[in-house]
Amino acid sequence: MLLTVSDIHKNYRNDKGEISRSVLNGLNLEVNAGRKVAIVGPSGSGKTTLLNLIGSIDQPDQGDVLFKGKSILRFNSSERTAFRNREVGFIFQLHHLLPQCTAMENVLVPSLVVKNRKGEHEKRAEELFRLLDLWEIKDQKPGELSGGECQRVAVLRALINNPSLLLADEPTGALDEKNAHNLMQLLLDLNDRFNTTLVVVTHAMDIAGKMDEIYMLKEGVLEKQ
């Protein structure tokens, strides 16, 4: 089992430390390596919170998250950083590319904190750019690119360290229908080519329908559809 989320509880508190909203209530999830999983549910149901917990951006109030059999909640600061950079790739609704950097420089940013045999990351970046037919835009900055191109560059950035797990939070939310279709097809192709496990948060049931498994997040727990 690649990922096990066990009895997760997450609450948000007010300035007095009192629980103002309970988001996740004993949530469980198991994901095998290489699978494609969709998380659907209404706005505010906790989908992004769940991804943040899986990716070690946030921590639960109760429960555990196991990755390859190890609890990520027990990682120290350096282990947590290494986990996020080497094992997990993040794709967000907005691409969050650095405007002052070229597409190539943006893709290489996550690799800066990982040991690099001479030219290793640059070689992988070139392979990814060519794989996605983006080589011609590698020296352009985000302001010179379309929304679809920026989001595909963001996907390359998420893949640069060859992660085991790709977390995508509404990755097509800011795209038109054509670019949304192209991006999802890209993620499916990458899952097939690299066997990268994919967990996608989406409102779109047509996108969710392309996954191996669909879960509805409702009242703080996941229900398999």
DSSP labels, 58-103: S--SEEEEEETTEEGGG--HHHHHHHHHHTEEEE-SS----TTS-H
Q: Across the chain, what does the average pLDDT equal?
A: 91
Under CATH, what is the fold of the domain 32-62+77-224? Rossmann fold (3.40.50)
Mapping DSSP to helix (H, G, I), strand (E, B) and coil, where does residue 169 land? strand
Q: Which one-letter DSSP state was computed for residue 203?
A: S
Gap between the Cα atoms of 149 and 169, Å rounded: 17
The pLDDT value recorded for residue 25 is 96
Asked whether the predicted pLDDT for residue 116 surpasses 70, the reply is no
Every domain of the chain and the residues it spans: 32-62+77-224
Give 17-47 pLDDT, tens digit per residue.
767 788 999 999 999 999 999 999 988 899 9
The pLDDT value recorded for residue 117 is 59
173 pLDDT tier (thresholds 50, 70, 90): confident
The pLDDT value recorded for residue 115 is 67
The pLDDT value recorded for residue 102 is 97
